[in-house]
Amino acid sequence: MGIADQLRGVDGRGEFGVWLGRLDGKAVLRHHAERTHYAASTMKLPVAIAMMRLVEAGELALDQAVTVHNDFASAAGGRFGVNPAEDEAPATWTHVGEEVSLGWLATEMITRSSNLATDLVLEQTGVDAANAVLAEYGSGASVIRRGIDDAGAQAAGISNLMSPADLAAVLVAVGNDTTTAGSYVRDLLAGNTWNGEIPALLPSGTRVEHKNGWDRRIRHDGGIVRPADAPPFVLVVCTTSELPDPEAQQLIAGIAFEAWTHRHDLEAIR
């Protein structure tokens, strides 16, 4: 079933955005690609890039010690903590009160999507640095304004937003980054252990450098797919909908599979 057919099948059930193209940054398919959604964990990619920029500048080091804690400055003033019941990556929590390396936290942030690890890394980089990465490559509509689970900021209307086009622009930048930092971030993305969306229907062993995100009514995934027999392509699908979560995952997986079948001639999808 074509991508347009799949999107027609969910018409009226929420907001769905798609960006599909090559690493040259040119889209072959856009569907509400400029519309922003709550970013969920897709914001962790700009955080990782901001971290590596500071590492390259000598302001941070991957082997530096960070004490694991759960008390952070809120973007709305005051303090907040991550809700452990909503963090599906338990490893960071086993080190509360202990020192771990910044690089280990970054791995947990991307490969396991740890919320606690994310806020610890974000505390090191600063929200402004992460937002600057998104602003540099994106349209300006997508923003990072707070950490994960900053309930006070959320209540004050301070949110993290992401559009498919802006996430795709960040992925294109990462995919074309020939530095050690670029390679490091791509390897983090390729190590993602949550693979129920873009990679789900692709042939086993296909390298997919992706970061997904989920919350109530939210399912997103964006990544670089690297077929062994065709040029890489970038796909981002963002969904804010009433679809049951497995259906939202199936939609993203189905769109990715359709892109895969056209990997030798992606432009034929138009």
Per-domain boundaries in the chain: 1-35+163-264, 37-160
pLDDT at 245: 97
For position 1, what pLDDT does the model report? 82
Per-residue confidence in pLDDT tens, the chain, 270 aa: 899 999 999 999 999 999 999 999 999 999 999 999 999 999 999 999 999 999 999 999 999 999 999 999 999 999 999 999 999 999 999 999 999 999 999 999 999 999 999 999 999 999 999 999 999 999 999 999 999 999 999 999 999 999 999 999 999 999 999 999 999 999 999 999 999 999 999 999 999 999 999 999 999 999 999 999 999 999 999 999 999 999 999 999 999 999 999 999 999 986
CATH of 1-35+163-264, one of 3.40.710.10, 3.40.50.720, 3.40.50.150, 3.30.70.580: 3.40.710.10
Residue with tokens 């994960």: 148
* Fold agreement between 1-35+163-264 and 37-160: yes
Q: Is 79 helix (H, G, I), strand (E, B) or coil?
A: strand
Which phi-psi region, left, alpha or beta, contains residue 265 (left: φ > 0; alpha: ψ -120 to 50)? beta
pLDDT tens digit string along 74-91?
A: 999 999 999 999 999 999
Q: What top-level class would CATH report for the domain 37-160?
A: alpha beta
Quote the CA–CA distance of 42 and 220 in Å, as a whole number: 8
What confidence score (pLDDT) does residue 69 get? 98
**Cα 160 from Cα 39, distance rounded (Å):** 5
Distance between CA atoms of residues 56 and 204, nearest Å: 34
In the numeric block, which tokens belong to residue 142? Answer: 């997508």
CB 202 within 8 A of CB 260: yes
pLDDT for 106 equals 98
What is the per-residue pLDDT for 270? Answer: 65
